[in-house]
A and B are shown apart, each in its own frame.
Chain A
Amino acid sequence: MTKEAAFAGHYAAHYRQVRALCRQLLGTADRADDAAQEAFARAYRAYASYDATQSFAAWIMSIARNYCMDLLRRGSKERALFGSEAEEAAAAESPGVDGLGAALTAERASAVNAAVAKLPERYRVPLALAYFGDADYDDIAKTLGITRNHVGVLLCRAKQLLRQALTDADTDIRGRALQEEPS
């Protein structure tokens, strides 16, 4: 099989997954479309260095992830991107924010996704890496250039905000989150 045919096969098989990761990391569909194309373009150029005994999915996902991270870093004042660990930790521990309940588990996937898309970047990115990209804390810490504990704090915060958003949406207008899901 030629390189082109092999690559076309990989593209068809992994595009949606890559696009979804880009969507989670970048937040908007437009940016995700472009980023997914760019990720595959980079993979195409570097295809010679791809070790066929390894998983293509893992390889392309890491390319996509790195590219998205580059974009995010470029688009923000790098130091502020993930906030201060201490402040975040304080926010996470502050009383009353951890209202664990049925909010998250009872929701439909589309509502959860809509809420995730609305999260600020600093929470959305680690969340996507951890629960979509299946990266462990060490990976995420390395990718984001923050400490391992900071990752834990951000994830905890992310989930708190998600619960908050979903509870608000429920009490506000039931189902609004469902309709407003950005495509």
Chain B
Amino acid sequence: MSCPSPVALSIHADGESSARESRVIEQHVATCSACRARLEALRDETFVLRRALRDVEDVAPIPQFVPPPRARDFVVLIASIVLIGGFSQAFWSTVSAAIPAEVGWLSPFASDALVGRVIDITTFIFSEGTAMLTATLNFIGAALVLAFISWIAFSAGRRRVFMGAAAAMLAVAAALPSTGHAFEVRRSEGAVTVPAGETINDTLLAMGQSVTIDGDVNGDLLAFGQDVLVRGNVSGNLITGAQTVTVEGTVGGTVLSGARELSFGNARVGRDLYGFANALEIASAANVAGNAFGFGESVDLEGRVGVDFRGFGNRVTIGGAVEGDADGYAGTMTVQPTARIGGNVTAHVDSVGDLTVADGATVGGNVDEQIVERERRRNHYETVGYYVNQVIRLAGAFVTGLLLLWVFPAVRTASLPNVVAVLQSGGIGLAAAVTMPVAAVIFCVTIVGIPLGLLTFLAGAIGLYFSKAVIAQIIGRGVLSNPERPAHWAMTLLVGLVIVIVAINLPWIGGFANLVLTLVGFGVIVSLIFARLNRGQLA
């Protein structure tokens, strides 16, 4: 017979010839040395080819796998925006108020002075309740509409249904006006001014080199820049960040302000004042109807505070009137002759004599100098009450922790396998604790408008609050680790909590342990949430 064709031979070399064809070729090859050599070469070739194709030296790193988005992700996304947005609104103004006294120690904000403010949350609900409820319902409604639209758009994108996409666009267009008027933005490289006589009936976001408000804002005012001057009237809350902030006008709501120099001249604040500054001055003409909290290198109160005043700083000076209590956490605290204080004066200072109360000053209650911190704490170890308290704390934390683990089973298996993971979680916790409020304010003004308030504030606070329970669970599992017969999660929680309580009550390093455990635990929670979000599995 004649030699087989190149194709036939190639097919035969691949072992894919039919049985009959195979026989013919084999018989031929046995007698034809040329074809035998060809077949041999083809087989070698196949071998080399296979090896070469497989030998792709792929040194590029494996990219992160991004799971495909699901409709659920949109709902989760919107829910998170709602949560974060609302969280920021209420976070600062009620941060110290929302923590139940009995288990308040779990909170990183826990301090004896703050426990007394539990009552504030009730007041808050009653005073803000009606308006907040309306806003909340509106907001939930808008969020649902938004979620629905997103879902339609998403389904349409997936199935390439043109009609669906068009419907979604229409719906978005219809929804826009209702959110569009929720706030007004004024932005400029130079000066942003609201002149006297002008009235803005919205929440105003003003950003510029200098921001001057002489007119009226019937809503919240958020002002950021180098110099912020408010001389007009703001009916809602005032939130500002700038190098210098000067408030000379009227603010109906709460003031939250951070600045290098923060001063309140002839200012009226309808609710509370939270000031963070290098130098904070509340001048004699200023009047704060609610509480005033001042954090700064120097905190100087010459004006009037309707309820309580708390100053945190190196130098805290009170020369004005405080209707309630005046507390100072300070290097030195001075109550001047002009001061009139309705309640108690308490100074949390390092040593006796750091509190000075001038002779002319009027104090309705007691004057008390509390020496922080180490001496007192060490004595605690010798009292029975201290240990009873610790047991009560343990029980409280155990119950709340059980609840947490029962509601969120994912927390039961959270883990920190190595030191790197611990550091990472600590970093995440710190970053989240620091940046969340900032990011939230941005979300708040750019996306969601007027946010929810209390409900969502709780979500954020709960995270910090439960961080020690989470870390306790992880520690407990580590201690009781037994791969063959894992301990029940309630047991590991209990053991972990005991260790945590002992750790945070250690002399000298207890405070530090408290902070670290809180941040790491918070980091774990944040990581868990983000991991879930990434996988679209937040069920």
Contact = CB atoms under 8 A, between A and B. Distances in A.
The 7 A-B residue pairs with the shortest CB-CB distance, nearest first, are A112-B52, A156-B10, A152-B11, A109-B55, A109-B52, A132-B53, A41-B68
B7 A152 contact: yes
A104 B62 contact: no
B51 interface: yes
Given A44-B67, A104-B45, A24 B53 contact: yes
B6 interface: yes
Interface stretch (B36-44, B416-424, B481-489): B36-44
A159 B45 contact: yes
Contacts of A20: 53-54, 56, 58
A156 B6 contact: yes
B392 interface: no
Interface string B33-74: 000001001101110111111111110101101111000000
A152 B16 contact: yes
Contact of A113 (B16, B52, B65, B67): B52
A71 interface: no
Given A23-B56, A112-B52, A136-B16, A100 B38 contact: yes
Contacts, number: 106
A37 B63 contact: yes
Nearest to B69: A41
A19 B58 contact: yes
Contacts of B55: 109, 113
B430 to A, nearest CB: 26
A101 to B, nearest CB: 8
Nearest to B68: A41
Interface string A1-40: 0001001100110011001100110000000010001001
A100 B45 CA distance: 9
A79 interface: no
A137 interface: yes
A37 B7 contact: no
Interface residues of B, number: 34
A153 interface: yes
B537 A109 contact: no
B14 interface: yes
A41 B6 contact: no
B6 A98 contact: yes
B56 A113 contact: yes
Contact of A93 (B7, B16, B48, B52): B7
Q: Which residue of A110, A116, A128, A155 has the most chain B CB atoms within 10 A of its CB atom?
A: A155
A55 interface: no
A3 to B, nearest CB: 9
B383 interface: no
Contacts of A160: 6
Contacts of A104: 45, 48-49
13 contacts: A7-B65, A16-B62, A20-B56, A92-B7, A93-B5, A100-B38, A100-B45, A104-B45, A105-B48, A113-B56, A137-B11, A156-B10, A162-B49
B53 A40 contact: no
B160 interface: no
B14 A130 contact: yes
Contacts of A45: 68
Q: Which residue of A101, A137, A156 has the most chain B CB atoms within 10 A of its CB atom?
A: A156
Contacts of A113: 52-53, 55-56
Contacts of B49: 104, 112, 127, 131, 159, 162
Nearest to B46: A131
A108 B45 CA distance: 12
Interface of B: 5-8, 10-11, 14, 16, 38, 41-42, 44-46, 48-58, 60, 62-63, 65-68, 535, 537
Contacts of A11: 62, 65
Contacts of A12: 62
Q: Which residue of B5, B42, B53, B535 has the most chain A CB atoms within 10 A of its CB atom?
A: B53
Given A89-B7, A107-B52, A109-B52, 8 more contacts: A20-B54, A23-B56, A40-B65, A45-B68, A100-B42, A101-B41, A112-B49, A149-B11
Contacts of B44: 105
A128 B52 CA distance: 11
Nearest to B537: A4
A127 B5 CA distance: 19
A12 B62 CA distance: 7
Contacts of B46: 131
A143 to B, nearest CB: 15
Given A40-B65, A131-B53, A92 B14 contact: no
B278 to A, nearest CB: 48
Contacts of A97: 6
Contacts of A132: 50, 53-54
Contacts of A33: 63
A183 B14 CA distance: 29
Given A15-B62, A33-B63, A110-B57, A131 B10 contact: no
Contacts of B537: 4
Contact of A100 (B41, B56, B62, B63): B41
Interface in A35-70: 37, 40-41, 44-45
Q: Which residue of B6, B14, B42, B66 has the most chain A CB atoms within 10 A of its CB atom?
A: B6
B41 A105 contact: yes
A3 B428 CA distance: 25
A153 B16 contact: no
A101 B16 CA distance: 22
Interface in A114-160: 116, 127-128, 130-132, 136-137, 148-149, 152-153, 155-156, 159-160
Q: Which residue of B16, B48, B51, B537 has the most chain A CB atoms within 10 A of its CB atom?
A: B16
Contacts of B54: 20, 132
Given A4-B535, A137-B16, A44 B52 contact: no
A16 B63 CA distance: 10
Nearest to B66: A37
A7 B58 CA distance: 21
Contacts of B14: 130, 137, 152, 155
Contacts of B62: 11-12, 15-16
A113 B50 CA distance: 10
A108 B52 CA distance: 8
